[in-house]
Amino acid sequence: MVQQLSLFGQITRSQHDITAVALGTLTGSAPSPFTTYTLLASPKRVVKYEPNSKNAQFEQYKLHLKSPYDDTKKDRSEYSEWVLQVSDVPSAGKRKISTQAIVESCILVQKDQSIDTVLDSIGYLVEKEYLVKGVRVFYGNIVIEMFQVLVKTAEGEWKELDDRAYLIKCFINVEKATDVENLQKSSQELMSLKNELTGFVELDIPDRNVMDSRIGIRK
């Protein structure tokens, strides 16, 4: 489990090239491109919340599965390695940095399986799939990602969900939630990046509810 400290921002498409150059100059490293194939899986049966139930009731979460995108592969059944991630709702309270706990594991799909059969056996179903495509730079301990989300059209082509804008995500992963010193240091680091980029990119914390991957019970 890691604690992910993050800030988000948005730029228009016309700003993309100059921002890429600016980030390269700021960090002193060339932006490296990445494309991540992501699956979003939901439980096959959603448990309804019963206000006066005697049984213990647990939250249900959506699962994220990530793998590097490979355009030589036809569909998700050809991918054999997946990182499975489940994220908590970000911590509440008045904060300057979004803090979210994420657990993950790496699934090695065996020869006679596909990711769908694996998820099916634990009671999950793939609901959506999308690509995250962009560039990544590193600034001290901070990872800065500038990306767009691509979804599959009816024709089977990947197309930007919103081709007018790019998202910017700056984050640091801290391994232990109890490591207060590192959490503070990382928050400061992100805050100073925010100050540095003021007037260029506005970095802010996203709405907690948007980052919530729980389903069912309370909704």
Please give the residue ranges that form the binding site for another protein (CB under 8 A).
1-2, 4, 34, 36, 43-47, 55, 57-61, 66-68, 81, 83-86, 102-108, 110-113, 117-118, 120-123, 136, 143, 145, 173, 175, 216
Between 25 and 121, name the residue whose CB sits nearer to another protein.
Answer: 121
Q: How far is the CB of 199 from another protein (least distance, A)?
A: 28
Report the run of H or E that residue 126 belongs to, with start and end.
Answer: strand 124-139
Q: How far is the CB of 41 from another protein (least distance, A)?
A: 11
Between 72 and 153, name the residue whose CB sits nearer to another protein.
Answer: 72
User: Could you tell me the sign of the dihedral formed by the alpha carbons of 212, 54, 44, 112, in that order?
Assistant: positive
Residue with tokens 């009731």: 57
Please give the C-alpha separations between residue 97 and each of 78, 121, 154, 208, 211, in angstroms, as whole numbers: 38, 37, 38, 11, 13
Q: How far is the CB of 38 from another protein (least distance, A)?
A: 9
Q: How far is the CB of 202 from another protein (least distance, A)?
A: 24
Between 21 and 138, name the residue whose CB sits nearer to another protein.
Answer: 138
Between 2 and 165, name the residue whose CB sits nearer to another protein.
Answer: 2
Q: How far is the CB of 64 from another protein (least distance, A)?
A: 10
Give the whole-angstrom CA distance, residue 46 versus residue 59: 10
Between 56 and 154, name the residue whose CB sits nearer to another protein.
Answer: 56
CA dihedral 187→98→4→137, nearest 10 degrees, is -70
Count Cα atoms within 13 angstroms, Cβ side, for 165.
8
The residues facing 84 across adjacent strands are: 65, 105
Give the whole-angstrom CA distance, residue 130 versus residue 107: 19
